[in-house]
Amino acid sequence: MHLDTVKDYLKTLQNRITGAIAQLDGGSFISDAWKKPPGEALQGNGITQILENGEVFERAGCGFSHVTGPKLPPSATHDRPELSGAPFEAMGVSLVFHPRNPYAPTVHMNVRMLSAKTADGQTVAWFGGGMDLTPYYGFEEDAVHFHSSCRDALNPFGEHLYPRFKVWCDDYFCLKHRNEQRGIGGIFFDDFSELGSEQSFAMVQSVGDTLLKAYLPIVEKRMNTPYGERERAHQLYRRGRYVEFNLVWDRGTHFGLQSGGRTESILLSMPPLVSWSYQHQAEAGTPEHDLMQRFIVRREWL
C-alpha cells in the first residue's frame, strides 16, 4: 500500500462528499488550502472546505489534512515499542454537517491513517475513524437506516466488526459530565491494523464511501419538514451538547487545540448557532422528551 494511494483516496472522498452536499444544498463550499509555517516540529498541509448559511445546511465543514512529524508521541507507540520515536505521517478526512431544519440530524464522519517506518525501512500503517448521527427529533427508521448502512460497510470485512465498533462508538461519544450520549451513535474504531494494511485500508474506504448513502436519504426526507420556534429552540439547546462534547471530551479537538493545531479547521465541527439554558428539561409526552428517552441512549438498532 502506497501512501499516495491513501492520499488520493482521501482527497477524492472529500470532493465527492462536499460535491454531493453542495448539490443538495444549492450553495457552494469555500475551499481553503493551508500549510503549516516552516520551522515547527509538525509539518503539514490541508484543505478545509466549508459551506455556511446554505438553504439546507446551516454549517457544513469537511477537512482534509496531511501532517508529518519527526517522532511518534509515546501514546502512539505504547503497544508498538519497535516504532518508538520513529518519524510518522498522519492523514485524514473529517466532517461535521449541521442542517438548518431541526428534523434533520447532524452527522460526523472521520477516516484517518497513521503510518511510520520501522528501523529496517518497512512502512507500518494503522487506521481510525467512523461515523455517528445526532438527531434533534427521533425517527426509528432513520436510526435503523444509518446503523444498517454502517453494518453493511463493515460486514464484508468480518461480521464481528459492526457490533464491536458500535459499542466503541457508544463508549466514545458519551458526555460523562451529563451521563448522556451525544446522539444515536454509529461506529468508531481506532488504532486498527488487524486485517493487514491493504484490507484495513479497504475497510476504511468502505466506511468513507458509505457516508453519503447513510446520511443523504435521511436529510432529504427531513429537510423540508415544517417547524417553528419550539423546534428551533430545542435544536439550538441540543447543539450545546455537541459543543460540550467536542471541547471537553473529544481527544482530537481538545488535544488539537492544546497542541497548536489549526484552530479554524479543528473547529469546523462547531454548530453555527447554539444556546444554553439552566436545568432545561423537556416535558414528558413531548417529542423532545421522547428523543432523550428512546434515542439519545445506548440501544441496539438492528
What does the buried/exposed string (b/e) look like for 114-138 if buried means 16 or more CB atoms within 10 Å of the residue's CB?
Answer: bbbeeeeeeebbbbbbbbbbbbbbb
Binding letters toward a second copy, positions 158-197, x by CB under 8 A = ------------------xxx-------------------
In the bound state with a second copy, the residue whose beta carbon lies nearer, of 202 and 247, is 247
In the bound state with a second copy, the residue whose beta carbon lies nearer, of 226 and 228, is 228
Could you say whether residue 41 binds a second copy (CB under 8 A)?
no
Q: Which stretch binds a second copy (CB under 8 A): 109-117, 119-127, 215-223, 254-262?
A: 254-262
Could you say whether residue 79 binds a second copy (CB under 8 A)?
no
Angle between helices 3-25 and 196-222 (to 10 degrees): 0
How far apart are the C-alpha atoms of 118 and 226, rounded to whole Å? 57
Q: Name the 3-class secondary structure at 129.
A: strand
In the bound state with a second copy, the residue whose beta carbon lies nearer, of 79 and 283, is 283
Could you say whether residue 289 binds a second copy (CB under 8 A)?
no
In the bound state with a second copy, the residue whose beta carbon lies nearer, of 195 and 243, is 243
Q: Name the 3-class secondary structure at 145.
A: helix
Contacts of 120 (CB under 8 A, 6+ apart): none
Helix (H) or strand (E) holding 29: none
Work out which of 35, 260, 286, 297 binds a second copy, going by CB under 8 A: 260
**C-alpha cell of 221?**
426526507
Give the rounded distance of the alpha carbon of 173 from its chain centre. 11
- Residue 78 falls in the annotated catalytic set: no
Binding letters toward a second copy, positions 230-249, x by CB under 8 A = ------x---x--xx--xx-
Q: Name the 3-class secondary structure at 289.
A: helix
How far apart are the C-alpha atoms of 95 and 216, rounded to whole Å? 14
CB of 211 to a second copy, least distance (A): 21
Mind telling me the catalytic residues? 108
Residues at the interface with a second copy (CB under 8 A): 30, 32, 48, 50, 52, 59, 61, 176-178, 236, 240, 243-244, 247-248, 254, 257-258, 260-261, 263-264, 266-268, 270-279
